[in-house]
Copies of this chain bind each other. A is one copy, B any other.
């Protein structure tokens, strides 16, 4: 079962709410003998951390991670790795407008319908704050994968404006507040998002995550498919409504001969692909090509603009969400998507070892 756990052999279980004392996770199954310290994890948390620009929530959280177990003298021991981050900036704001009403398009309603009780403060368990622990776990997953596997992400679309592939430059990604791979587009987005924020509104986005040098053979044929696990992983991120592998929905428009990724031999006699429509996955198993995943993020439902709704008492009402919210949650979804990619690949790396490997003694 997987209410709050993710992965099978590299297994991450998260806990915590937006306004509790802390959030944390347990990583079970991490191999022993891997050098690991807080310094390996903190940079990824810093990348996801809110309050770094005017385009994300202004909540101030240092997000300092602590390793609580599973590491001895700087090395993983094979036992569960407990990670924890304190919640610091739980502003004691007035939640009266959402404590008993449901934001249209928000989990407020469905948590209430399912459980009959919810911690409404900051969204409780449905808050994107939980993703901090995904990012922390992703940092450990990267260590399991090794430095050869390179996982990078970018925001490639905001609203209707999509990056031209020809303008894509990975170096630009870390130089703007949007993880945008085109400096020029980033400037345009900045203007647009400032206006959206001023309007008290929000906007959707598309993110793309690419993993290079992924070993061939990760995945499984039927229900443990690498792409199926990636789809679940990305769809489990807050506000995500669609996932594509490789060409994704564009593949529906292709004919067989155009979609086929033809193969030749490279200079070393290895397989060289002439295209990557498949996004690095065939039959649920990695081919050795870059694994390419895109996901769509809806606009956050916490907006200042009033929307018609109902409340717990069964009366009609209007909801306008004040508080600190991301005008474009797609931005901070980039490091989260990278982390999910890392976790899925690490899980499948261990799964492949189980079925195809041998004991390294």
Given contacts A223-B2, A298-B251, contact A350 B354 (CB under 8 A): yes
A64-100 CB mask vs B (1 if < 8 Å, else 0) is 0010111010011111111000000000000000000
Contacts of A125 in B (CB 8 A): 69, 77, 79, 221-222
Q: Is A308 an interface residue (CB 8 A)?
A: yes
Q: Which listed residue, B11, B255, B279, touches A201 by the CB 8 Å rule?
A: B255
**Partner-binding segment picked from A37-45, A48-56, A166-174, A309-317:** A309-317
Q: Does A358 contact B (CB under 8 A)?
A: yes
Among residues of B, the one whose C-beta sits closest to the C-beta of A16 is B69
Closest B residue by C-beta to A234:
B231
User: Is B256 in contact with A202, judged by CB distance below 8 angstroms?
Assistant: yes
Contacts of A254 in B (CB 8 A): 159, 203-204, 298-299
Chain B residue nearest to A160 in the complex (CB):
B253
Do A249 and B241 have beta carbons less than 8 Å apart? yes
CB-CB contacts below 8 Å: A281-312 with B: 281-288, 296-303, 305, 307-310
Instruction: Tell yes or no: A26 within 8 A of B by CB.
Output: yes
Q: With A29-B3, A68-B22, A260-B307 given, is the CB distance from A105 to B282 under 8 Å?
A: yes
Query: A235 contacts B227, CB within 8 Å?
Result: yes
Are A77 and B118 in contact, CB atoms less than 8 angstroms apart? yes
The answer to whether the Cβ of A243 comes within 8 Å of any Cβ in the partner chain is: yes
Kindly provide the distance from the CB of A46 to the nearest chain B CB, expressed in whole angstroms: 22
Given A130-B222, A236-B284, A264-B310, 14 more pairs with CB closer than 8 A: A2-B8, A3-B220, A4-B79, A4-B220, A77-B115, A104-B262, A109-B271, A222-B236, A242-B251, A252-B296, A252-B298, A262-B307, A353-B353, A357-B359
Residues of B within 8 A of A252 (CB): 157, 159, 204-206, 241-242, 296-298, 330
* Chain B: CB-nearest residue to A111: B283
- Decide yes or no whether A267 CB sits under 8 A from chain B: no
Min CB gap A35→B, angstroms: 11
Interface size on A, residues (CB 8 A): 157
* Most chain B C-beta atoms within 10 Å of own C-beta, residue among A15, A244, A358: A15
A107 near B301: Cβ-Cβ < 8 Å:
no
Tell me if A58 counts as interface (CB < 8 A to partner B).
no
Known: A119-B72, A298-B254. A8 touches B16 (CB 8 A): no
Chain B residues with CB under 8 A of A6 = 223
CA distance A330 to B17 in the complex (A): 38
Give me 8 A-to-B residue pairs in the complex whose CB atoms sit less than 8 angstroms apart, sorted by A's number.
A1-B28, A17-B70, A22-B68, A32-B114, A32-B355, A105-B282, A203-B255, A242-B251
Contact of A114 among B17, B116, B222, B356 (CB under 8 A): B356
